[in-house]
Amino acid sequence: MKFINKLLVVTMLILGFSACDVTDLDLQDNPNEVTPENAGIDFLYNNIMVSFKDFYNGTHNFTGRTVRQTAMSNGNTYNNAYSAISFNGLWYNAYAGLFPDVNALLTLADEKGLAVHSGSAKVLKAYVMLTLVDIFGDVPYTEALQGTDIISPKADSGSDIYAAAITLLDDAIRDLDGTAAAAPANDLIYGGDAASWIAAANSLKLKAYLNTGNGSGFKSIIDAGNYITSSASDFVFPYGNNRINPNSRHPWYNNAYEANDAAYQSNYFMWLLDGEKSMEDPRLRFMIYRQESDMEGVDPNAWSCILTETPFEPVTTGWESIITEPHWADSEWELPYCIASDDGYAGRDHGNGSGIPPDGGIRSVYGLYPAGGNFDDGLFTFTQNEGIDGALGEGINPIMLSSFVDFMRAEAALTLGTGEDARTLLESAVASSIAKVRSFTSFIDPGKVIGTVPGTDPPVNVLLGDTYLAPLDSLEGEYMSIVMDRYDSASNDEDRLNTIITEYFIALYGNGVEAYNAYRRTGFPKGIQPGIEPGIGTFPNSALYPADYVNLNANADQKADLSAKVFWAENFSVSLY
């Protein structure tokens, strides 16, 4: 087989064309063309890693914003926040980037007996297949990647693609099991460790079985025991600290720590960390960095609050006055408005797509975890410093963590009858999540001076380690007690599941796909922040198909609206938000 040139890739990306099998074209051989005979397989493998990373990052703007993990400030309704054209890049990364490269690599790996290359590439491809279904529903698969033989591939059902992805994961496990093959030179995720790739493959199968309600399939993997059980085998994409040539930093770091205003944080998500319980979440200062301490002292021109001029005035035309209307019926009075709290957590409410005031210096921004930014040490430093702050972007994409697996097992224990103890798994999941976030403490200097004790002579300095890092163990214990008391006091499995999913939602920061999936599976967390104004529209049960796919594929029809459900979420129903 031959690779088609880059121009042809761009031309055919939306149609799901293959990057091979085009030898029937009446073209002369290009001496500069990369072919399987002269391609470096590790160079190709590196392209797959890059495409996978780009695909993963491209999912978050839709999924994370929809479920309030980050702020949906790009529109005041779902219809104007998510247009068909906004999904072109995600489609490109899958169909013109990763899929053809994986198919080409599998041919080379089979010829050379490179089972780690092939097995790990299959895991990445299967993840993308599952996620395309999770986001869009039915998409091209069996007729895709066929070159000029099929220029308008028909979509397969989401259930068939899920089944194909699980089969591909099983193939990957067979490739990887017991192999002594050489590892890829640039496996950024697991360093060529076949056992870790097998654990990741089985963990993705857990996710698929949970989404589809396959309790027996889920239990079979748990009984076998070969899945992600500790942070040592967490499925993450790691970033570096190089700023240019190439820029290897986390995209969230690039967003918040260069020269431009950072994206808005979600007031609802920050409220979960700083207002929903009687104490500050011990992960809060790792996840969110504040640039301002005194919200009441901010210039009123910096606010864009929709219902009031500033966050500190009585709301007489919004929340309280329309609380009895159906749009707001299940909302909580304690939910934030305009800011998450007056001690510096300033973001945007769901669906606040109004104009941008001069607020770049007061917005809360991405923190140390997972973005590789600043730990919130209480100094409220302006972050637009052209990339010199914090961990310099050495963050991660948390694709599948051991804590995520424990949360899924806890959910399955309640909903799929797997026979495990949901309470024990919830406790383990929360502890694992906190430990993962706290592992980024290595980037922090605990001896950093953050203040001076008033009236001391000579001055006595207040150290970061003494004020926040040192008491983390006791804070974790206090937090865990609150969570477990909430679980124990629940009178039914619905309330127990709400506790599990709410904690899962917090742990998923940086992974919008699984937060979106969990919400559509369960309807939890209960009482999430509604759109800031009535009329936000139907909750997006799936994304619109990309504009290029619909416009260039004769067999593609656009969805009527965002209400179309993916096959495994057909029983999910939400009408308020």
In a domain, 502, yes or no: no
Q: Which domain holds residue 27?
A: 6-193+544-569
**Cα-based distances in Å from 561 to 81, 460, 538:** 13, 62, 9
In a domain, 387, yes or no: no
What's the start-to-end Cα distance of the chain, in Å? 50
In a domain, 554, yes or no: yes
Element (H, E) at 49: helix 41-66
Q: Would you state the pLDDT for residue 201? A: 98
Judge contact between 227 and 220, C-beta under 8 A.
Answer: no
Tokens of 264: 């808005």
What CATH number does residue 22 fall under?
A: 1.25.40.390
CA dihedral 503, 505, 510, 514 (to 10 degrees): 130
Q: Would you state the pLDDT for residue 148? A: 84
In a domain, 214, yes or no: no
Cα 381 to Cα 364: distance, rounded to the nearest angstrom: 11
Backbone torsions φ then ψ of 396, nearest 5 degrees: -140, 155
Nearest to 253 by CA among 396, 375, 372, 385: 372
**Cα-based distances in Å from 10 to 17, 50, 93, 218, 516:** 10, 17, 11, 39, 30
In a domain, 138, yes or no: yes
- Give the number of domains in the chain: 1
Alpha-carbon dihedral sign for residues 466, 470, 474, 477 = positive
DSSP 552: H
Give 255's contacts (C-beta < 8 A, 6+ positions apart). Answer: 262, 263, 366
DSSP 337: B
Q: Would you state the pLDDT for residue 570? A: 87
What is the full DSSP assignment across 324-335? TSGGGTT--TTS
Can you give the pLDDT of all 577 residues of the chain as single tens digits? 333 333 333 333 344 433 333 333 333 444 444 455 445 899 999 999 999 999 999 999 999 999 999 999 999 999 999 999 999 999 999 999 999 999 999 999 999 999 999 999 999 999 999 999 999 999 999 999 988 899 999 999 999 999 999 999 999 999 999 999 999 999 999 999 999 999 999 999 999 999 999 999 999 999 999 999 999 999 999 999 999 999 999 999 999 999 999 999 999 999 999 989 999 999 999 999 999 998 988 999 999 888 888 888 766 655 444 444 444 445 554 678 899 998 999 999 999 999 999 999 999 999 999 999 999 999 999 999 999 999 999 999 999 999 999 999 999 999 999 999 999 999 999 999 999 999 999 999 999 999 999 999 999 999 999 999 999 999 999 999 999 999 999 999 999 999 999 999 999 999 999 999 999 999 999 988 888 887 888 899 999 999 999 999 999 999 998 999 999 998 776 554 4
Cα–Cα–Cα angle for 177, 133, 352, rounded to 5 degrees: 125
In a domain, 61, yes or no: yes
Query: Going by DSSP bridges, is the β-strand pair 365-366/288-289 parallel, antiparallel, or unpaired?
Result: antiparallel
In a domain, 440, yes or no: no
Tokens of 476: 């974790």
In a domain, 186, yes or no: yes
Nearest to 557 by CA among 205, 47, 138: 138
Q: Would you state the pLDDT for residue 478? A: 98
Q: Kindly report whether the global pTM for this prediction surpasses the value 0.85.
A: yes
Judge contact between 77 and 100, C-beta under 8 A.
Answer: no
